[in-house]
């Protein structure tokens, strides 16, 4: 047994810990039992105090009412209670006046009780001996007592209540036995747990460490798994670190050889990469996080002759003191994406180049961005051509718009021509077919009276002057939604959508009167002319399409001519 303890670290630690635990729990249980006993006695004392107060109030009440026989009977009844040893009332000299035992009446109280009452100015309310708890309650004289006691008397007596502590002692004994049993169980459990923990935390790690050392001694592979921060774990980690360093020293030469091979391969790869970069038709630059040029190819030097390797790109290329606001390289370092942008660069000779650049990240083996590659292309010529093409396209569009307008405009009057009139009238009829809520569509045919005679008298230039003046009157007399066109020769036509015949007649009459009052001056000659107007409205009698509407308006114009000219005539049947 002693040999086993000498050879076992766990056994030594277990014996030491068990001794300490036994001493600790012994002191702990002793103090706990003392406190528990005191608490039980205090509890009994409080309960006894309540009982004594109750007895006091009952007896004093009976005495004040003069029921002396009831007082004695009540005391005798109290004497039969289990925990009450004796209840007495004695006077100032110790003579017993009332008692639970009639044989005590007339006798004297014991010296111990009398000493408690007389030896102090303020006698204690209770006194606890080994087996008895004594309560002393003075009964003072008062007006309600003067019937039996003279007023000069200060104290009528002292209530002496003695209560047994036997039950309290029994409770204390039972509690001590209970605590002792559980204390033994607790100590036994703690000892078993301590032995198991020592086996788990000390003995097992020591055995593992010893086995690992023996394997290492033989040169075999070993494994140590000691978790924690205690001395054993630290010892295992130190041994493990020592063996790892030895292993690292052994493999260092091999690793350096591999590193040399990798460096040679990287050098060859870099040479190949540099050849590829130099052969690229676009400019290529390698830029670090400080925005410094690390490497450029020949094409990059052709595009940016001012670029200097080792300097900041924004300084040597763009002549700036800070990074360019829209630099794609800075965005690459920020989010690791691929970015492109256009920029203009002013060269040393004052010329301006437009370049398009694409920037991408260069990552190390761990995926961290270390540098950025920027591929640039001189797009000055392409941008110039695009700008010229855009300008020519704009000019072509402008000319086309002018031609389109000329295609529908009468060159003399600048009104819409006959073709545009026909197209507009067809569109209006289609619109009427789609929207049945639009009820009316009117057409006014206008013709200059005796225009041939004016041309023969004053010349065609005078006639042109009148035609231009008439076109201005027509434009000023209609709405923006109306269409005014030259129908042919001296004939004009007006399309008035959503206008009934009454409204059309008002417009036509306004035109006729304005022409009649107008004076057209040509070479100091004032020319006066009139117009005849024929009106037709859709829907109307025998008017179902645009051709019938024009035909009806033309017939009305013919009637206006026949009736004497310079008038407005409405189509028949409207």
List the catalytic residues: 490
**309 close to 293: Cβ distance less than 8 angstroms:** yes
DSSP 21: H
In this structure, are strands 520-522 and 525-527 parallel, antiparallel, or unpaired? antiparallel
Integer Cα distance of 271 and 332 in angstroms: 25
First to last CA, the chain: 141
Quote the tokens at residue 141: 């004289």
Phi, psi of 529 (to 5 degrees): -140, 165
Quote the tokens at residue 1: 């047994």
Neighbours of 376 (CB within 10 A): 23
Integer Cα distance of 557 and 549 in angstroms: 13
Question: Which element (helix H / strand E) includes 229?
Answer: none
How large is the angle between the packed helices 501-517 and 460-477, nearest 10 degrees?
A: 140
Neighbours of 21 (CB within 10 A): 15
Placement of tokens 């003399």 in the chain: 412
DSSP 479: -
> Radius of gyration of the chain from Cα atoms?
65
Neighbours of 420 (CB within 10 A): 18
Strand order in the sheet with 96-99: 96-99, 84-90, 155-164, 132-140, 126-128
Pure H helices in 92-165: 111-118
DSSP 146: T
Integer Cα distance of 478 and 287 in angstroms: 71
**226 close to 209: Cβ distance less than 8 angstroms:** yes
Integer Cα distance of 197 and 366 in angstroms: 44
Neighbours of 281 (CB within 10 A): 7
Integer Cα distance of 515 and 507 in angstroms: 12
Neighbours of 346 (CB within 10 A): 11
Strand order in the sheet with 568-570: 483-488, 491-497, 441-448, 531-538, 568-570
Integer Cα distance of 181 and 175 in angstroms: 10
- Count helices and strands (H / E) in the chain: 16, 17
Query: 3-class SS at 524?
Result: coil
Integer Cα distance of 296 and 338 in angstroms: 19
């Amino acid at each position: 047994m002693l040999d086993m303890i000498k050879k076992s670290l766990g056994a030594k630690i277990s014996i030491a810990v068990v001794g300490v635990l036994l001493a600790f729990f012994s002191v702990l249980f002793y103090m706990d039992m003392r406190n528990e006993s005191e608490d039980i006695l205090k509890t009994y004392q409080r309960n006894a105090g309540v009982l004594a107060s109750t007895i006091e109030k009952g007896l004093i009440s009976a005495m004040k009412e003069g029921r002396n026989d009831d007082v004695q009977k009540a005391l005798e009844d109290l004497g039969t209670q289990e925990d009450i040893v004796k209840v007495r009332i004695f006077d100032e000299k110790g003579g017993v006046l009332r008692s639970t035992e009639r044989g005590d009446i007339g006798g004297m109280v014991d010296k111990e009780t009398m000493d408690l009452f007389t030896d102090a100015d303020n006698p204690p309310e209770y006194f606890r001996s080994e087996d008895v708890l004594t309560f002393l309650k003075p009964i003072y004289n008062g007006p309600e007592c003067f019937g039996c006691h003279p007023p000069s008397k200060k104290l009528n007596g002292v209530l002496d209540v003695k209560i047994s502590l036997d039950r309290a002692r029994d409770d204390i004994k039972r509690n001590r036995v209970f605590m002792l049993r559980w204390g033994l169980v607790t100590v036994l459990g703690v000892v078993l747990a301590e032995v198991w923990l020592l086996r788990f935390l000390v003995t097992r790690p020591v055995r593992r460490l010893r086995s690992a050392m023996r394997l290492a001694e033989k040169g075999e592979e070993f494994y140590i798994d000691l978790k924690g921060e205690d001395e054993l774990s630290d010892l295992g980690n130190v041994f493990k670190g020592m063996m790892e360093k030895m292993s690292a020293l052994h493999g260092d030469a091999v690793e350096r050889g591999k590193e040399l091979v990798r460096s040679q391969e990287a050098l060859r790869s870099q040479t190949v990469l540099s050849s590829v970069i130099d052969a690229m038709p676009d400019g290529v630059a390698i830029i670090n996080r400080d925005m410094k040029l690390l490497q450029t190819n020949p094409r990059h030097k052709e595009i940016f002759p001012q670029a200097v390797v080792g300097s900041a790109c924004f300084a040597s290329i763009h002549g700036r003191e800070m990074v360019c606001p829209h630099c794609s390289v800075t965005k690459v370092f920020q989010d690791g994406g691929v970015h492109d942008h256009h920029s203009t660069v002013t060269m040393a000779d004052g010329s301006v180049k437009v370049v398009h650049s694409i920037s991408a990240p260069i990552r190390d083996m761990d995926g961290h961005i270390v540098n950025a590659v920027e591929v640039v292309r001189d797009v000055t010529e392409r941008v110039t051509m695009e700008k010229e093409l855009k300008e020519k396209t704009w000019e072509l569009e402008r000319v086309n718009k002018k031609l389109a307008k000329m295609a529908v405009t009468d060159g003399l009057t600048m009104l819409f021509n006959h073709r545009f009139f026909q197209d507009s009238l067809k569109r209006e009829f289609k619109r009427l077919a789609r929207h049945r809520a639009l009820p009316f569509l009117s057409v006014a045919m206008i013709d200059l009276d005796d225009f041939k005679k004016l041309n023969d008298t004053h010349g065609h230039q005078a006639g042109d002057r009148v035609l231009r003046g008439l076109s201005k009157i027509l434009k000023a007399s209609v709405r923006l939604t109306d269409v005014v066109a030259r129908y042919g020769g001296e004939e004009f036509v007006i399309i008035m959508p959503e206008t009934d015949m009454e409204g059309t007649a008002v417009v036509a009459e306004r035109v006729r009167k304005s022409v009649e009052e107008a004076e057209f001056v040509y070479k100091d000659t004032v020319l006066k002319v009139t117009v005849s107007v024929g009106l037709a409205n859709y829907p109307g009698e025998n008017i179902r399409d645009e051709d019938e509407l024009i035909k009806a308006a033309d017939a009305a114009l013919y009637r206006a001519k026949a009736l004497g000219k310079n008038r407005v005539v409405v189509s028949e049947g409207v």
